[in-house]
Amino acid sequence: MRGALALLLALAAGAAGAAPLMPWPVPGGVARVDLETAQRPEAVRYQGSPVRVSAKPEGGWEAIVGIDLDAEPGRHTLQVDGAERTFRVRAHTYPAQHIEIPDREMVTPPAETLERIRREQRTIRAAYRSRAVAAHPRLDLHHPVAEGQRSSRFGVRRFLNGKPRNPHSGLDLAAPRGTPIEAAEAGRVVARGDYYFNGKTVLIDHGDGLVTMYCHMATIGVEAGERIARGQPIGTVGATGRVTGPHLHWSVVLNGNTVDPELFL
């Protein structure tokens, strides 16, 4: 299924240059919902959060909706200027992945680190919902590590040292330590830090509810609040935080939900 999806995306990119985002309405995917109106709605929300609204090439408007990994299959509802528009989320099963991590405190953190972890998670969740940038960014994103090998895909159900943990919320790109990391799209740095699980991390708000996150970096080359250009170097690949080797963990967030980054490449 994933191979067929990748082929479809590649064909679309070849035919259209900058490929439009392909819909994949599953948990962790993206739905494109026809709003069936000639005028742009003033407010479109999903689960209380504003969602991106784009003009359709043939006329009219559509919502580009990021779907949470924990979403239940079935009918979901958009609020469109006080009215409702529904769409369906299909069931999808992600594969399992078993990883052995030598540092056991990275699997089961000691009690004295829990408040730090909770504080960092609040910072990251707030950045996911940032609306600091007024822009309508491209959805065909720049690859953040040119030579990176896709070592762990989005959505896999992870078992760390045999213990179940949250599904993988990003795409892992393995590359040598020190490899440049480039911004996927223009935007503004809304958070940066050295976090317990994520290591050295940068989050960039691109506008319209699109945020990208870059984790496990060796070095960070940008500051909070800094304006960033598409393709601009922002740091280097490392092995900080909870890792088994040097790589970039790259997350794409849409209307507050982490979604499959491969849909945007």
44 and 146 part of one domain: no
Give pLDDT, residue 8: 37
Give pLDDT, residue 99: 73
Give pLDDT, residue 13: 36
Q: Which stretches in the chain have pLDDT values below 70? A: 1-20, 103, 105-107, 158, 162-165
240 and 185 part of one domain: yes
CATH for 121: 2.70.70.10
Give pLDDT, residue 105: 65
Written as six digits, the tokens of 15 are 């035919």
CATH for 56: 2.60.40.1590
Domain end among 31, 59, 89: 89
Q: Which domain holds residue 206?
A: 96-264
Give pLDDT, residue 4: 39
123 and 76 part of one domain: no
66 and 132 part of one domain: no
35 and 100 part of one domain: no
Handedness of CA 45, 184, 261, 249 (dihedral sign): negative
Domain end among 55, 89, 123: 89
254 and 129 part of one domain: yes
Amino acid identity, position 215: C
84 and 125 part of one domain: no
Give pLDDT, residue 100: 76
Q: Give the number of other Cβ atoms within 10 Å of residue 71's Cβ.
A: 17
243 and 121 part of one domain: yes
How many domains, in total, are found in the chain?
2
Domain end among 36, 68, 89: 89
153 and 66 part of one domain: no
